[in-house]
């Protein structure tokens, strides 16, 4: 049975294909269209998935959309009427996007793909999140918690999943918290207040939090009240997001927390405002963590299960995930590589396969590499035509050459195999560098990523070495597989790992198992033999504002445009030709 999953029209569109119960491929539209967070109908992603699998739209048994669009429309309509006349400005906008796209999804899919409408199905948004989390994790029975901004009505669900020995599957969502009450919206409101982009820059709030102290926790708690049933409710007087698309927080919010930060205002921790913004971030981060810990602890007591699967965009918060692992009582916590809305494309397809069609249970391979494969010849061709130095090396020589370059302080663009599904580079589309110095971090921020200096970089290390350098609780390495947890760097190593140690001594670590990305694993070992520490700084292969590179030529162009010293794909090691580099510099200065 061939099932295509689609997520679209809100944020981060994607397509995924499941054939006979197993994922074949999955990709976010942005990686192909090259528009970051592309929310349009993922026509390129769909086309690529079908082409990759060699099937025509007519061969599909079902196309599954990741939310019930009529329910979502009902929510938008109901909220608009409830808050009328305050909402009258936002209502036409919401109508435009909903009526134009979301409500008529069945017709849009049918016309784009030419599949009959009866083959087009819908899952609940949080069912898709839950399936993406549970059905891709190496567990047969687990509690499930999903949390995001909002789906149709739900913003958080709690339940459990069961892959039974008879091959049937069950996912039961026991309860939900409904919009406008939402942990995702609470965090996004602070994201907006702190001058960052909502739905995109939430991780900057987490990074900033480490510079502050949670001095405003009491104030944040005025915004979110715990209810006797163990859930929570937001005090909507502090929020405007449900009445207008233009602003997330209300005048009362500003009264409580002070002047908001402007988008381009620098954050200077030596000024009272800079410290206030950092304290604000630390305070909402703390409240988010505390709430999630309470909710997951209650879920553990209720289910008495040892595994927990987390889904939804909130599961990208690695600091909160680490606290859930340490404090909820669950022995293992799983977060998929794409817990956000893009991952719902895969979740929706798997949900339909197991629960709608009742197909037998299958073990989903536990890796994130479902995207297009890099064409190394394309890199060599582009580099040669451009007059750069291309070395073709056998595998051992290539590893030695790359490890030498990294040990000498060079920055390497690394492309290998199929691209990652989800927002993080996990070893197939990465920029790698030595993790030892702050200077390297600053150089990457300044010359390559063009981003704020308070943002930390993440390390990658073989799973066998992780314990030596990082304080991992039991189960921590599991959370590190897809870089889903933030853990302390061991104090004795912090000076020698200064490039990846955040200001509070932590790091968002990837623990790499050889089987998942064997070439990167081999490179880490080779680098370890040269420097004594098998840890590399690993950041996504892109510059600020662009999606992670997908094709070799995109990696090559990124290498040409910024301070990356070498780029690797297949057997090729490409460096900048000295005379060409001089030309580029002159061009840059002209």
Q: Which residues lie near Fe ion (CB under 5 A)?
A: 148, 341
Smallest distance, Å, CB 84 to Fe ion? 26
For Fe ion, the closer of residues 341 and 361 by Cβ is 341
370, 418 Cβ separation under 8 angstroms? yes
Smallest distance, Å, CB 313 to Fe ion? 6
Smallest distance, Å, CB 556 to Fe ion? 34
Residue 167 has, within 13 A of its CA and on its CB side, a CA count of: 6
Task: Give me the sign of the Cα torsion angle 28, 33, 37, 43.
Answer: negative
Residues in the chain: 590
Smallest distance, Å, CB 321 to Fe ion? 17
For Fe ion, the closer of residues 279 and 341 by Cβ is 341
- Chain CA centroid to CA 302, Å: 29
Smallest distance, Å, CB 120 to Fe ion? 20
For Fe ion, the closer of residues 30 and 341 by Cβ is 341
Tokens of 213: 């102290």
Give the DSSP per-residue string, 90-137. Answer: HHHHHHHHIIIIITTHHHHHHHHH---GGGEEE--HHHHHHHHHHTTS
421, 369 Cβ separation under 8 angstroms? yes
For Fe ion, the closer of residues 76 and 406 by Cβ is 76
Smallest distance, Å, CB 341 to Fe ion? 5
Residue 522 has, within 13 A of its CA and on its CB side, a CA count of: 13
For Fe ion, the closer of residues 143 and 338 by Cβ is 338
Smallest distance, Å, CB 379 to Fe ion? 35
For Fe ion, the closer of residues 339 and 555 by Cβ is 339
Q: In sequence order, which ranges of 329-481 are alpha helices (DSSP H)? A: 343-351, 376-385, 395-407, 438-443, 466-469, 476-480
**Among all residues, whose Cβ is closest to Fe ion?**
148
Other Cβ atoms less than 10 A from the Cβ of 338: the count is 31
Smallest distance, Å, CB 540 to Fe ion? 21
Measure the CA–CA gap between 102 and 79, rounded to whole angstroms. Answer: 17
Smallest distance, Å, CB 312 to Fe ion? 5
For Fe ion, the closer of residues 30 and 148 by Cβ is 148
Task: Give me the sign of the Cα torsion angle 322, 326, 330, 332.
Answer: positive
For Fe ion, the closer of residues 152 and 341 by Cβ is 341
Residue 169 has, within 13 A of its CA and on its CB side, a CA count of: 24
The values of phi and psi at residue 333, to 5°, are -125, 125
For Fe ion, the closer of residues 197 and 254 by Cβ is 197
Q: Is 449 exposed, middle or buried (0-12, 13-18, 19+ CB in 10 A)?
A: buried
């Amino acid at each position: 049975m061939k099932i295509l999953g689609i997520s679209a029209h809100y944020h981060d569109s994607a397509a995924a294909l499941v054939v006979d119960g197993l994922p074949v491929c999955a990709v976010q539209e942005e990686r192909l269209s090259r528009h970051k967070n592309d929310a349009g109908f993922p026509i390129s992603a769909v086309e690529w998935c079908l082409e990759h699998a060699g099937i025509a739209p007519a061969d599909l048994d079902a196309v599954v959309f990741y939310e019930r669009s009529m329910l979502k429309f009902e929510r938008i309509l109901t909220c608009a009427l409830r808050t009328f006349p305050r909402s009258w400005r936002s209502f036409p906008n919401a109508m435009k996007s909903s009526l134009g796209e979301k409500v008529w999804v069945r017709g849009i899919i049918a016309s784009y793909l030419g599949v009959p409408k009866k083959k087009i199905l819908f899952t609940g948004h949080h069912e898709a999140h839950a399936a993406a989390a549970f059905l891709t994790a190496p567990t047969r029975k687990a509690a499930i918690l999903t949390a995001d901004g909002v789906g149709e009505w739900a913003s958080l669900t709690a339940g459990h999943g069961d892959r039974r020995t008879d091959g049937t599957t069950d996912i039961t969502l026991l309860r939900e918290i409904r919009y406008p009450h939402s942990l995702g919206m609470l965090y996004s409101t602070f994201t907006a207040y702190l001058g960052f982009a909502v739905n995109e820059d939430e991780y900057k709030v987490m990074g900033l939090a480490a510079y502050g102290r949670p001095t405003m926790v009491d104030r944040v708690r005025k915004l979110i009240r715990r209810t006797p049933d163990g859930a929570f409710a937001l005090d909507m007087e502090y929020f405007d997001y449900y009445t207008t698309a233009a602003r997330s927080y209300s005048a009362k919010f500003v009264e409580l927390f002070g002047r908001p930060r402007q988008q381009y205002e620098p954050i200077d921790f030596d000024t009272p405002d800079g410290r206030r913004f950092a304290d604000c971030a630390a305070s909402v981060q703390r409240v988010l963590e505390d709430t999630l810990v309470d909710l997951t602890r209650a879920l553990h007591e209720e289910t008495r299960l040892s595994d927990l699967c987390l889904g939804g965009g909130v599961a990208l918060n690695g600091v909160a995930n680490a606290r859930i692992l340490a404090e909820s009582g669950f022995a293992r916590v799983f977060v998929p590589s794409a817990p956000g809305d893009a991952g719902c494309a895969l979740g929706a397809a798997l949900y339909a396969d197991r629960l709608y069609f009742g197909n037998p249970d299958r073990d989903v391979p536990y890796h994130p590499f479902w995207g297009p494969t890099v064409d190394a010849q394309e890199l060599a061709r582009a580099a040669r035509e451009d007059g750069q130095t291309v070395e073709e090396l056998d595998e051992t020589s290539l590893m030695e050459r790359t490890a030498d370059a990294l040990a000498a302080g060079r920055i390497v663009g690394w492309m290998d195999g199929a691209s990652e599904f989800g927002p993080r580079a996990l070893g197939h589309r990465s920029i790698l560098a030595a993790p030892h110095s702050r200077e390297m971090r600053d150089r990457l921020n300044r010359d390559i990523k063009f981003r704020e200096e308070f943002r930390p970089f993440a390390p990658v290390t073989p799973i066998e070495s992780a314990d030596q350098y990082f304080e991992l609780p039991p189960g921590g390495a599991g959370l590190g597989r897809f870089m889903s947890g933030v853990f302390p760097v061991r104090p004795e190593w912090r000076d020698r790992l200064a490039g990846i140690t955040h200001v509070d001594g932590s790091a968002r670590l990837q623990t790499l198992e050889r089987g998942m990305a064997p070439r990167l694993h081999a490179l880490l070992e080779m680098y370890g033999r040269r420097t004594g520490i098998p840890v590399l700084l690993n950041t996504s292969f892109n510059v600020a504002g662009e999606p992670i590179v997908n094709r070799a030529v995109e990696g090559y162009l990124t290498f040409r445009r910024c301070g990356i010293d070498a780029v690797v794909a297949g057997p090729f090691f490409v460096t900048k030709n000295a005379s060409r580099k001089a030309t580029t510099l002159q061009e840059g200065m002209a």
